[in-house]
Amino acid sequence: MIRLLLAEDQGMMRGALALLLGMEHDMEVVAQVGRGDEIVDAALLSRPDVALLDIELPGRSGLDAAADLRTEAPDCRVLILTTFGRPGYLRRAMEAGAAGFLVKDGPVEELAASIRQVLRGETVIDPALAAAALSAGPNPLTARERDALAAAVDGATVADIASALHLSESTVRNYLSSAIGKTGTRNRMEAVRAARRQGWL
Amino acid sequence: MIRLLLAEDQGMMRGALALLLGMEHDMEVVAQVGRGDEIVDAALLSRPDVALLDIELPGRSGLDAAADLRTEAPDCRVLILTTFGRPGYLRRAMEAGAAGFLVKDGPVEELAASIRQVLRGETVIDPALAAAALSAGPNPLTARERDALAAAVDGATVADIASALHLSESTVRNYLSSAIGKTGTRNRMEAVRAARRQGWL
DNA sequence: CGGCTCCCGGGACATTTGTCACGGCCAGGT
DNA sequence: ACCTGGCCGTGACAAATGTCCCGGGAGCCG
């Protein structure tokens, strides 16, 4: 029996996947969580063979949780299942030691097949996405540029970002300006969108 | 047998729901589409009793499609199934003649139960969401303010918006300013976010 | 009819934002 | 020891943005 952990914030999606996978004759869902910061605890408790993780979760990113599992539960393989096939996400997933990366498009049959594949020690990635991730190159933004950009997502002013990051307003503007330059965009919002599309956020 | 139409852009979600609902003894999924502009055609072809529509779809909004079904296939009940329980969405869904409004959180069991409820002529809405929609009041933005705000989502400049809407830059700035005032926000991006959270976009 | 609101535009103004040039500090590699 | 690159800050400047005035026209309603 393949023991599965399911981490997904949308209740209906989580429930549907759990029912479907539970119907496979060789699988059972031994844990379900809706938050990223519950993944490690649940994994330690229920000892799954494969953890199916969404990326964008409340509490803690699925990518961070994947890295945690690498050290806390090394014999649990991680399969990332996400809505967005962003190149940067794929790259970070691989660096976090994930064994596979699936997008939520594509047929459901793909899911069970990929789980078995991962359990056999193979790595499963959408070829087109892998090509995009390689051609895009690594994240050119520095840590602070990312911080500034991330703090700017919801329309915060320079003053807001500066106080949130304990920086001077001038510094914040310099970071934003260089981030805008590196993304080849015209203003803060375009830079944010470009960075998110690449999975750099 | 209850005949169902399923409109949902995420392949995995669509497939999972189709399988689950198909397993109910009194239901069958007679049509599945991944785009909003295929809903009416599919409904005319397969004559479903209930159409399960996501809102944010490529091609055409599920809300617009619901309004279309009202006239093109009047005996097909519409059940909106969406990720975001925005007050404005609920309001528009009701105005479009929807028989129910579900969010994708909450358990899967809710789904089949709601479908049967809708078919009995009842209206199904999350009470908390209904309260929020009523207390929020109607959309205070004028049509042009909405247009300007919608065109500003991805970091477009005033010049971009002006040329996209065939307006003068002064006019665009006036619309944006009044939208910012009505949403009680400080700049364009906060206004966009506030409007989207309310479902006013 | 007068009043109202929405649509569209112009002009002036303060504020914010984005850019550039310039410092200094510290860690890393050659 | 030197250079490079990230980090943090300043000051100044042009451009974009947001606000407040002001018009006129169209439609709707009491």
Q: What is the pLDDT of residues B55-108, one digit of tens each?
A: 999 999 999 999 999 999 999 999 999 998 898 899 889 988 999 999 998 888
Residue ending a domain, among B136, B161, B187, is B136
Reduced to 3 states, what is the DSSP secondary structure of residue B9? coil
CA angle A17, A14, B18 (to 5 degrees): 50
Short-list A150, A149, A170, A147, CA closest to A159: A170
Do residues A34 and A103 both lie within one domain? yes
E-state strands within B13-145? 27-33, 50-53, 77-82, 100-103, 124-125
With an 8 Å Cβ cutoff, are A155 and B15 in contact? no
Short-list A190, A159, A167, CA closest to B189: A190
A190: nearest CA in chain B?
B155
Do residues A11 and A89 both lie within one domain? yes
What the block records as the tokens of A8 is: 């997904």
Please, which pLDDT band fits residue B133 given cuts at 50, 70 and 90?
Answer: confident
Q: In this complex, how many residue pairs, one in chain A and one in chain B, have their CB atoms less than 8 Å apart?
A: 87
Do residues B130 and B154 both lie within one domain? no
Q: What count of residues does chain B have?
A: 201
Residues A111-138 have a mean pLDDT of 88
CA angle B146, B147, B152 (to 5 degrees): 95
Q: What count of residues does chain A have?
A: 201
What the block records as the tokens of A172 is: 């914040």
Residue ending a domain, among A109, A135, A161, is A135
Measure the CA–CA gap between A157 and B190, rounded to whole angstroms: 10
**Which residues in chain B touch residue A13, judged by CB atoms under 8 angstroms apart?**
12-13, 16, 104
| Nucleotide with C1' nearest the B168 CA | C9
Number of domains present in the structure of chain B: 2
Minimal CA separation from B148 to chain A, in Å: 16
pLDDT number for residue B130: 87
Measure the CA–CA gap between A162 and A181, rounded to whole angstroms: 20
Do residues B132 and B63 both lie within one domain? yes
> Do the beta carbons of residue B99 and residue B77 sit within 8 Å?
yes
Do residues B153 and B123 both lie within one domain? no
Burial of A49 (0-12, 13-18, 19+ CB in 10 A): middle
Do residues A149 and A122 both lie within one domain? no
Measure the CA–CA gap between A194 and A87, rounded to whole angstroms: 12
pLDDT number for residue B122: 94
pLDDT number for residue A100: 94
DSSP 8-class letter at A60: S
Residue with tokens 């993944």: A39
Using the C1' atom of nucleotide D11, identify the protein residue whose alpha carbon is closest.
A170
Question: What is the biggest distance separating any 2 CA atoms in chain B, rounded to whole angstroms?
Answer: 61
Q: Which CATH number is A51's domain given?
A: 3.40.50.2300
Cα A151 from chain centre: 19
Which range of residues forms the domain containing residue A29?
A: 2-135
Q: Report the footprint of strand C: residues with C-beta closer than 7 angstroms.
A: A 157-159, 170, 173-174, 176-177, 180-181, 186-189; B 142-145, 167-171, 173-174, 187
pLDDT at residue B26 tops 90: yes
State which amino acid sits at residue A100.
G
Residue ending a domain, among A99, A117, A135, is A135
A22 touches chain B (CB under 8 A): no
Measure the CA–CA gap between B176 and B143, rounded to whole angstroms: 12
Short-list A123, A116, A131, CA closest to A101: A123
A164 C-beta neighbours (distance < 10 Å), count: 15
Short-list B55, B6, B61, B68, CA closest to B34: B6
Question: What does pLDDT average to over chain B?
Answer: 92
Residues B145-161 have a mean pLDDT of 91
Out of A20, A155, A187, the one facing B16 most closely (by C-beta) is A20
Residues A152-174 have a mean pLDDT of 92
Do residues B72 and B155 both lie within one domain? no
pLDDT number for residue A140: 85
Residues B21-47 have a mean pLDDT of 95
Do residues B113 and B190 both lie within one domain? no
Best residue in B12, B52, B154 for a mutation probing chain A (most A CBs within 10 Å): B12
- Which of A56-70, A90-104, B132-146 is predicted least confidently? B132-146
pLDDT at residue A190 tops 90: yes
A45 touches chain B (CB under 8 A): no
Minimal CA separation from B61 to chain A, in Å: 19
Do residues B19 and B109 both lie within one domain? yes
A106 touches chain B (CB under 8 A): yes
pLDDT at residue B138 tops 80: no
CA of A130: how far to CAs of A66, A77, A95, A166, B10, in Å? 19, 20, 14, 38, 20
Do residues B62 and B36 both lie within one domain? yes
Whether CB of B188 is under 7 Å from strand D: the answer is yes
pLDDT at residue B137 tops 80: no
DSSP 8-class letter at B3: E
Out of B16, B189, B191, the one facing A17 most closely (by C-beta) is B16
Residues A34-58 have a mean pLDDT of 95
For residue A181, the surrounding DSSP H or E stretch is helix A169-183
Question: What does pLDDT average to over chain A?
Answer: 92
pLDDT at residue A106 tops 90: no
Short-list A9, A100, A104, CA closest to B11: A104
pLDDT number for residue B144: 87
Do residues A45 and A95 both lie within one domain? yes
Q: How far apart are the first and last CA of chain A?
A: 38
pLDDT number for residue B37: 95
Q: Which CATH number is B192's domain given?
A: 1.10.10.10
Short-list A22, A23, A17, CA closest to A53: A17
State which amino acid sits at residue B198.
Q
Short-list B146, B155, B150, B151, CA closest to B179: B146
Do residues B91 and B179 both lie within one domain? no
pLDDT number for residue A45: 95
| Nucleotide with C1' nearest the B186 CA | D18
> Do the beta carbons of residue B123 and residue B78 sit within 8 Å?
no
